[in-house]
């Protein structure tokens, strides 16, 4: 699912943006939402779906962009800035906030937005974003980004899925989970899978992993140390 979020108070640009997005999305089998706001509000900033923001430049646009990147730590959502004057582009360009493009409303707006939406779709990750399974006749749908680590329960055929909210149980082996999880999950030992995107640090000397919620875990086997270290070093 993709959320296209436009913040613009001019109905002309809202209408044309929707027409362009609808035209491009006709060629893709992807569900999407088009959400228009006439003001900047933090309430519409969530990490639930993959997002493409189309933001009209003003002082609030700069603040919102910083909030998305720095406060939410969201560097996956894509941001397009629309502006009227070159000075506006230069100002936000200096912030280095990973903007897809800057579109001058007065120069080929429709063609440039069309091209940018096509570029955004090339960056859309269509991997499953949740773990779906059944346990004791209950269907579960757990967001990958909320999973901290998964532990094989001792003397049991279950695994414990540790999330930022609560614990869940999965009937099956660690190896069966590795096969269905995506590349953000690393099997760090026989009994543990960790979500490396939830990690904030790894102490090589003490073998201690620390996660975003301050949970710590000492569970990296000697054979998997290098994998964890290379990920955190961006290799």
pLDDT of 235 over the 60 cut: no
CATH 2.40.50.1020 domain residues, the chain: 130-232
Instruction: Output the pLDDT for position 47.
Output: 57
Looking at residue 91, the DSSP 8-state letter turns out to be H
Query: 130-232: which CATH topology?
Result: OB fold (Dihydrolipoamide Acetyltransferase, E2P) (2.40.50)
Q: Are strands 2-7 and 50-56 parallel, antiparallel or unpaired?
A: parallel
Alpha carbon of 154 to those of 141, 151, 157, 160: distances in Å?
24, 9, 8, 10
Instruction: Output the pLDDT for position 96.
Output: 63
Max Cα–Cα distance, the chain, nearest Å: 67
Q: Which two tokens stand for residue 207?
A: 């073998």
Rounded CA Rg of the chain? 21
CA distance 213 to 144: 15
Beta bridge partners of 5: 35, 53
For the chain, the average pLDDT equals 84
Residue pair 125/50 in contact (Cβ under 8 Å)? The answer is yes
Residue pair 138/125 in contact (Cβ under 8 Å)? The answer is no
CATH 3.40.50.2300 domain residues, the chain: 2-122
Summarize the confidence of residues 201-209 as an average pLDDT.
Answer: 91
Q: What is the dihedral of CA 142, 41, 126, 112, to 10 degrees?
A: 180
Q: Which CATH class is domain 2-122?
A: alpha beta
pLDDT of 198 over the 80 cut: yes
Looking at residue 171, the DSSP 8-state letter turns out to be E
């Amino acid at each position: 699912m993709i959320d296209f979020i436009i913040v613009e108070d001019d109905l002309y640009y809202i209408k044309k943006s929707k027409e362009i997005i609808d035209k491009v999305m006709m060629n893709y089998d992807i569900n999407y939402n088009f959400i228009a706001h006439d003001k900047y509000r933090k309430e519409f900033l969530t990490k639930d779906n993959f997002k493409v923001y189309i933001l009209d430049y003003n002082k609030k646009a700069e603040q919102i962009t910083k909030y998305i990147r720095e406060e939410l730590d969201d560097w996956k959502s894509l941001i397009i800035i629309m502006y009227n004057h070159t000075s506006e582009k230069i100002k936000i360009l200096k912030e280095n906030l990973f903007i897809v493009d800057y579109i001058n409303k007065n120069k080929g707006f429709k063609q440039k937005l069309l091209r940018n939406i096509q570029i955004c779709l090339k960056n859309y990750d269509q991997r499953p974003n949740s773990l779906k399974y059944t346990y004791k006749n209950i269907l579960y749908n757990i967001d990958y980004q909320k999973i901290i680590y998964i532990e094989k329960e001792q003397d049991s055929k279950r695994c414990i899925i540790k999330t930022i909210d609560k614990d869940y149980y999965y009937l099956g082996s660690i190896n069966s989970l590795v096969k269905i999880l995506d590349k953000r999950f690393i099997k760090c030992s026989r009994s543990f899978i960790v979500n490396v995107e939830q990690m904030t640090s790894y102490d090589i000397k003490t073998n201690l992993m620390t996660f975003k919620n301050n949970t710590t875990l000492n569970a990296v086997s000697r054979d998997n140390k290098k994998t964890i270290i290379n990920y955190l070093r961006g290799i």
